[in-house]
Amino acid sequence: MSSVPETYAGEDGKHYPAPLAPHDDVVRDSSLFWDTLRRFHFLMGTKFMIPVIGGKELDLHVLYVEVTRRSGYEKVVAEKKWREVGSVFKFSATTTSASFVLRKHYFSLLYHYEQVHFFKARGSVYTPSTDAFSGNSPSWRPELAIVEYSPKPLNSSSESRAEETSCLSGNGTIEGKFECGYLVSVKLGSEVLRGVLYHPEKMVAPPSIPQHENAIVPFKSKGHRSGRRRRNKRRWDPNYPKPNRSGYNFFFAEKHYSLKALYPNREREFTKMIGQSWNSLSPEERLVYQNIGLRDKERYKRELTEYKERMKLRETPEVGLP
């Protein structure tokens, strides 16, 4: 069993940590799996959050066990067994494109963990050089770019879009919303860029955007500009906890993945379609996502408290011996 196929290319400046536990142990003990998975993402400097599918948190332990039982991610991709893996979870009939979503989450959250604990990979971090998850770019990696958003009136006419395009054109997708902006992906040619879309200070929402309770609207600063700047700077600490998301944000992300697979050329309509789906949910169905949002809020508060305590310890000067 080879841990590093010849078609892989190393990532610059990153190396795999040593295995945190034997593969057989993490398969048998789900608590050990969750503990080592969180520690692994911390050591790799990557963000970790449990995804939600069909209103329920995805059991990554079951997903890891089922994929490694079938000889790992590459084998499952090559033999097209994601539907077989998805059948284990017994998703509801309303959950579409489960195979696509499972593959995406496995690649982003479990692929490198699999390399270290299942294949016992060592040295530089590797990602597939062919059949990358974007489906287009052989060197795609889930990295973040910092961009600034300057709102312009939207024009649905493809002719006007062609006239406004200069040397580059791309299709952008909003994948999530947080306090100061959006998580976005932009396709430029064969390359997919993922980034954080920040709103400039003192920006006012355009009047043409309806202020609906479920609509995603540009963030409006509330003054105290210097304070906001200081907090934003601290946010770029890689150890700063990931901001919490609301129940609607989890619902939006789940439905967006499904719609993107079903209607790849209708991304402009996704926000409206998802908003209509949210409004059509029963109070019981909506409560499932709202509870997930509350748990994520508690997670953020807990991690923020731990982060602040660590920062205080760093800022405390060491007392030397006389």
**Banded pLDDT at 107 (limits 50, 70, 90):** very high
The pLDDT tens digits for 181-234 are 777 777 777 777 777 766 554 444 444 545 444 545 455 555 555 555 555 555
Query: Which of the two residues, 278 and 144, has the higher pLDDT score?
Result: 278
Q: Are 105 and 89 in contact (CB under 8 A)?
A: no
Distance from C-alpha of 36 to C-alpha of 297, rounded to nearest angstrom? 23
pLDDT at 258: 83
**Banded pLDDT at 92 (limits 50, 70, 90):** confident
Helix (H) or strand (E) holding 174: strand 170-178
Q: Which of 30, 192, 31, 190 is nearest to 107 (CA)?
A: 192
Number of Cβ within a 10 Å radius of residue 35: 14
Rounded to two decimals, what is the model's pTM? 0.42
Phi, psi of 9 (to 5 degrees): -130, 135
The pLDDT tens digits for 127-146 are 775 444 444 443 333 333 33
The mean of the pLDDT values for the chain is: 74
Residue carrying structure tokens 């929402």:
205
Residue carrying structure tokens 């955007």:
209
Query: Which of the two residues, 200 and 77, has the higher pLDDT score?
Result: 77
Distance from C-alpha of 86 to C-alpha of 99, rounded to nearest angstrom? 6
pLDDT over threshold 90, residue 259 = no
The pLDDT tens digits for 29-58 are 999 999 999 999 999 989 888 898 877 889
Note every long-range contact of 225-228, with CB atoms under 8 Å and residues 24 or more positions apart, other chains counting: 225/201, 228/201
pLDDT over threshold 90, residue 24 = yes
By three-state DSSP, how is residue 147 classified?
strand
**Banded pLDDT at 235 (limits 50, 70, 90):** low
pLDDT at 128: 72
pLDDT over threshold 90, residue 270 = no
pLDDT over threshold 80, residue 87 = yes
Number of Cβ within a 10 Å radius of residue 42: 13
Helix pair 247-262, 98-109: axis angle to 10 deg = 120
By three-state DSSP, how is residue 299 classified?
helix
Query: Which of the two residues, 212 and 180, has the higher pLDDT score?
Result: 180
